[in-house]
Chains A and B, each alone.
Chain A
Amino acid sequence: MVHLLQILINGLASGAVYALFALGYTLVFSVLGVINFAHGAVFTIGGYLTYLLIGGAVGANGLLAGLQLPLALPFWLALGLAGAGSALVSLVVEAVAFRPLRKRQAEPLLSLISSLGAGVVLVNLVQLLMGAESYSIPSSTLAGLPAALNLGGAQIRTVQLLLLLVATLLLVLLTLWLEGSRGGKALQAVSEDPVTARLLGIDSGAMIRLAFAVSGFLAGVAGGLVGLSVSIAGPYFGIGYGLKGLGVLVLGGLGSVPGAVLGGLIVGLAEALVPSDFSGYKDGVAFAILFLVLLLRPRGLLGKPLASKV
């Protein structure tokens, strides 16, 4: 039973990070109807920015070898700033890979490819600057907090609790913003029907940029959190997350905010339940669930019914 609590917390914590990640996809998908394949690269950048801002030094292999920022920000501040930096990168991706195609009303498939190209450029830029080695954010950045808590006999890593806390906080804030603010409502209006939204005086271009910025912020924060709880395993580590995030997104239902959260939690818990003897199969769990759900319920768990053309 004690063991179960540990599994539960671990599963919820990684599930919450998946949810943060998938929410970024969902925001962009709901306004544009396309998947942003550069999202994983923005996540990578969030991880690296967090590492640099807490004063981490660059290894020997990149162009920036030996660089160390002359500041060592507390983790929270670094995480927030890394999120902001990632939001900027996400805006650049929008301007370079999405806007030119949107202006021509090109097929959605094309922006999928061009965003993938943007992702390849970003990931290799990181590799060029910082080398291919892995970095880890030392947990000593969380000064004053114990490494693990003893909850009724279960050892819970503090980092896991923090992950869960931060992710939940962001999810709640995002929902409040989407449901309660003018900006959030306008965003929803654009995703419901861009033409009517424009008639009502909503600047859809600005809303799309807003969706990219928020999505980039969420990805960046998720990157920093994973960097803290596991490590930044080289520039490509966002790609694996990006792929799993895609699974989470479709599992919950494309474009659905509660769906992304539910999908993230299901995948996180399912992965935590994989016995350690079979840990090699962990990465397949999300896709096995996704595959089964798609066959039984093609629109995902909480997705809207698929529109059919008649």
Chain B
Amino acid sequence: MRHLIGIEDLTNEEIDNLIATAEDIIANPDKYAEVCKRKKLATLFYEPSTRTRLSFESAMIELGGSVIGFSEAQSSSAAKGESVADTAKVISCFADIMVMRHFKEGAPMVASLNSTIPVINAGDGGHNHPTQTLTDLLTIKREKGRLDNLVVGLCGDLKFGRTVHSLISAMARYKNVKFVLISPDELKIPDYIKHDVLERNGIEYIETASLEDAMPNIDILYMTRVQRERFFNEQDYIRLKDSYILTPEKLDNAKSDLAILHPLPRVNEISVAIDKDPRACYFRQVLNGKYIRMALIKFLLEAKNEG
């Protein structure tokens, strides 16, 4: 049984195949309209989400399948104290594949260990968010035409930003990718990402607190939101939330073919004035998310049937 808990569950070849499938879905949507006919996707969202949940639901519907599930913990058996393991066993009786977002890190892994259907991690606390990473990779591929030979700038909350951690792990697999890590001291990338992913693989990176200094050298600017829900202390959140706001002036020194990505939702870290700039990719990125999730659902269901 194949699951997607972290991006490391996929080989480079599998990631490339998913991207190729997504691009084929974009070009030939009718070809895939009945791929999941009579199949059910269960969406188990213990934490609020608009984009990711609707993206998965749209993906399954466009593949000809249907969707069951819940969108908050209070409307599930979790409110009665049911364990994640038990929930996974129960959902396995109803659906063909499940997607889980949970506020506890590792919850989707626990589900996968107890499930008889594929489990997709749609975000576990501040830990992993592999389908956002696949979305980012598809976006970078479509915007830049390649996933190697790039300088990737990551800006904002690099400590709790799970999308950042997964993206670094994924991009680190491609040749000649360099990282510029832009954040305040309090929100620097965790040591385990630096040591286990970057330094161990000899990948070049620099850490800086200045977005302006980093701007001229980067091909991809990945902006993130400083998330209120990741802080134990409200005062720390208020102090840091406006650390990095991207305005048109800050793009003066940027490359003309820069690609600006953001996992969304945006609060105020990217000025609305930038939305009109052709380098702003974040709404195209949302659409790419649906296509790559279609490719992923198809892949995991096929792997299940083969297994």
Asked if chains A and B come from one complex, the reply is: no
